[in-house]
Chain A
């Protein structure tokens, strides 16, 4: 069994953070969940810079990325990740409160691996988070090529 890679959760809203963590917890994933609170820190973590310069965790199995973030917003983080040859294979899932089509289109243009609008219903939210975790973390396979993006 390969080493379990962590899940990187980028979320600034403490309530959403708590609820997402609760959902992940319920899905009983074995993966560690690393939480960062803004876009800059997310990039630091991914690139092993700043306070994450000496982290000994492996690179994340999946990044769950909120769109509205302080400092550097989710779309920009996504753009940097997908533009970085070392990082671009890291799966990124946009987790957003917004139904805005422009965000969705922009995300796919930047090469997002999935785009999830956080459902209002908690059960649906849990289902979505669990599905994502199971798909990206436990299966831990390279992302399939998306032909339709």
Chain B
């Protein structure tokens, strides 16, 4: 992390700082620049005096050969060769006479506009520079790469090998996100420096122009953050662009940051993918440290191999993810197919549903139901969110990693749902599946000890990774991890599958409805035929028997007369049965025609008729307040006729029949009841009472076809109500019907 900038310093100033033209270099080497056209020396660093005993100003305007004969003799050919722009080309080690005697220097050439820059870095003692040492290290790295199956493992191998090759105390793999915030994703270190694994850094730590420089010049090194910059002498008023230089002096802000981190030496290598900055390999040392140019070049080479591997690994990971998500999706599909309602398939397997989108919580919301699974906001909050989505986001897929910015209420539950990914399943019935992700800050754990350095370095903490972490937390406040493309694709496919299932169900239902219509039609035709053809013969039997009885009565024997009466009665009963059956089947088919019905008048009318036919029986009626309801008048009349008729019929064994009709309200229903003091029934047969052709009494005792109460129940159910009975043998019975007040009441 070569250029982390603290927040307190004016950031816009930081972003404007022209770090590519500092006008100075670091002191571990000497810089000369010459014009490419005429090979005249145009720039020289001030330390040329102390190193070579050459006054930098005195050689300005002289030719390369004149000014630096010893260097020119060894590098002239290389300088003549065109060094392409954007690279620093390590040429070779050369030996030069200095104030210290003969010294080995690594020579580096680069281009800067119309200039050629020559940088001479004294070869550090005790450092790895021989290719004999570096080559096996590189080869080992390449071999280890094959075993690294994941990106995490790959990064770990890279960190370890860079550290092995350079000897830094700590090597980090630092990765940028799409907003240029950084995360330490791998680390190799000794005990000299603390762990920074998982630490986050805000984008402002590495401003845009620094990132551009990193992209262009892949490796930077600062051997000692406490260095004194060496000015560059020149007659040229235009500053020398040091973008490709290896000795470029860095921002003082950055140096302070490094000192505060306790890392006076650092090196960073850019990880590029497709020419864009993917991340950095960042090396730190607790003591000043030099790394030879060959070793640095080897690290750069290693990093380039690493980048290529990264790309391959990322593609593999992507493919593996797709396979993994495909498998989850297949499971979810199987669950859904196994249930009659697809929702049940999802609700019963929340783990897979969440895994599909990498979410911590999921909610399935329809206009009737709300299922919250895993870590989700409260049900009321989810419902409010659903209402908001229904109004504003009817698109098939909606994804955000910062819900709070779109919906301020959502800030209240940022810990559960800063990220929202949702699919709309049915626009007509407005059904959604919502996946939630918590605020990123809540999920980050820094493996290091972020508290300690702050206390140790009070007063300077504003320029410190701990502070960076705080700034990062502020910048990503209210944000979740981004929903990546594979997750969005996965839920999109799930949506398609669900829509497919829903559609198929709808088709099946339509087919079923068609089938029903057809069989209903057949049933109608059947009952039409029954009503004509089955009914007529009974009528004929009754009719002819009556005629026979009338005309031949006197000539019939007593037995003959009894036979005729039995024939008439049986045929009559059979005919009535047919009538009742037809009425029962019609009741299920014909549409209700609800109107306002005054139940008190209806009951009074039926009572009058029943009393008339009851002969001399004594019946005491107790009729309470009966409200007006909305119901099909014909059908509801049948209900009360049946109930009152039964009450009269089954109480006829009493000296005085007592029949009570009343009503009360119960929980949104209007309940009507008819109570008698008749023969009652045993409650263990209560279920049989309302069945078709179910009788609890012998036909000789109580006549009837056994269909009356079945009609009652069917009519009441068609009105959305309930019917029930209570009784005891010989202690009377109470029959009740409940009609929903909203539908049944006026």
Chain A positions near chain B (C-beta within 8 angstroms): 13, 15-16, 19, 22, 68, 96-101, 118-123, 125
Q: How far is B410's CA from A146's CA once the two chains are assembled, in angstroms?
A: 68
Residues of B within 8 A of A (CB): 527-528, 531-532, 535-536, 538-540, 542-547, 568, 571-572, 575-576, 579, 582-583, 586, 590
Flag if A16 contacts B536 (CB, 8 Å). yes
CB atoms of B579 and A101 under 8 A apart:
no
Q: Which residues of the partner chain A approach B590 to less than 8 Å between Cβ atoms?
A: 101
Given contacts A99-B579, A101-B590, A120-B575, contact A125 B531 (CB under 8 A): no
Q: Are A99 and B582 in contact (CB under 8 A)?
A: yes
Q: How far is the CA of A120 from the CA of B536 in the complex (A)?
A: 8
Hey, which chain A residues are within 8 Å of B528, CB to CB? 98, 100
Query: Given A99-B531, A99-B583, A121-B572, does the pair A19, B536 have CB atoms closer than 8 Å?
Result: no
- A67 CB, min distance to chain B CBs, angstroms: 8
Q: Are A19 and B535 in contact (CB under 8 A)?
A: no
Q: How far is the CB of A17 from chain B (nearest CB, A)?
A: 11
Q: Known contacts A99-B531, A99-B579, A120-B579; is A16 also within 8 Å of B540 by CB?
A: yes
Contacts A15-B540, A97-B536, A120-B538 known; 14 new A-B pairs at CB < 8 A: A13-B536, A19-B543, A22-B543, A97-B539, A98-B535, A99-B531, A99-B583, A101-B590, A118-B539, A120-B539, A120-B542, A121-B542, A121-B572, A123-B546
A19 near B586 (CB under 8 angstroms)? no
Hey, which chain B residues are within 8 Å of A22, CB to CB?
543, 547
7 interchain residue pairs of minimum CB distance: A120-B575, A122-B546, A19-B543, A15-B540, A98-B531, A122-B543, A97-B532
Bound together, the chains give a CA A13 to CA B579 distance in angstroms of: 20
Minimum CB–CB distance for B632 against chain A, Å: 12
Beta-carbon nearest neighbor of A22 in chain B? B547
- Contact residues in B for A97 (Cβ distance below 8 Å): 531-532, 535-536, 539
With a cutoff of 8 Å between Cβ atoms, the chain B residues found around residue A118 in the complex are: 539
B contact residues around A101 at 8 Å (CB): 586, 590
Query: Which residues from chain B contact A15 at a C-beta distance below 8 Å?
Result: 536, 540, 543-544
Complex interface: chain A residues within 8 A of B576 (CB): 120
25 A-B interface contacts by CB (under 8 A) = A15-B536, A15-B544, A16-B539, A16-B540, A19-B540, A19-B543, A19-B547, A22-B543, A68-B532, A96-B532, A97-B531, A97-B535, A97-B539, A99-B583, A99-B586, A100-B531, A101-B586, A101-B590, A118-B539, A120-B538, A120-B542, A120-B571, A121-B572, A122-B547, A125-B543
Complexed CA–CA distance, A70 and B544 (Å):
24
* Contact present for A122 and B542 (CB under 8 Å): yes
Closest B residue to A68 by beta carbon equals B532
Residues of B within 8 A of A121 (CB): 542, 572, 575
Complexed CA–CA distance, A77 and B411 (Å) = 78
A118 and chain B: residue at smallest CB distance: B539
Assess the A19–B531 pair: CB atoms within 8 A. no
Residue of A nearest to B551 (CB): A22
Q: How far is the CB of B637 from chain A (nearest CB, A)?
A: 15
Bound Cα distance A22, B527 (Å): 29
**A26 to B546 CA separation, bound complex (whole angstroms):** 13
When C-beta atoms are compared, the residue in chain A nearest to B590 turns out to be A101
Report the minimum CB–CB distance from B8 to chain A (whole Å).
89
Assembled-state Cα–Cα distance A138/B545 (Å): 29
Give A15 to B539 CA distance when docked, in angstroms: 10
A99 to B581, CA, bound (A): 11
Q: In the complex, how many angstroms separate the beta carbon of A84 from the nearest chain B beta carbon?
A: 27
